Amino acid sequence: MLNVTGESEWARLSTGAYCNYGNNAETYGRLYNWHAVNDSRNIVPAGWNVAIDEEWKRLKMALGMSQSEADEAGWRGTNEGSKMAGNADLLPDGSLDNDSAFGESGFSAIPGGLRTYIAGYFGN
pTM exceeding the 0.85 threshold for the entire prediction: no
pLDDT at 40: 86
Q: What is the pLDDT of residues 49-107, one digit of tens each?
A: 888 889 999 999 999 999 999 999 888 888 888 888 877 777 766 666 677 888 889 88
Q: Can you give the three-state secondary structure of the chain, one letter per residue?
A: CEECCCHHHHHHCCCCEEECHHHCHHHHCCEECHHHHCCCCCCCCCCCCCCCHHHHHHHHHHCCCCHHHHCCCCCCCCCHHHHHECCHHHCCCCCCCCCCCCCCCCCCECCCCEECCCCCCEEC
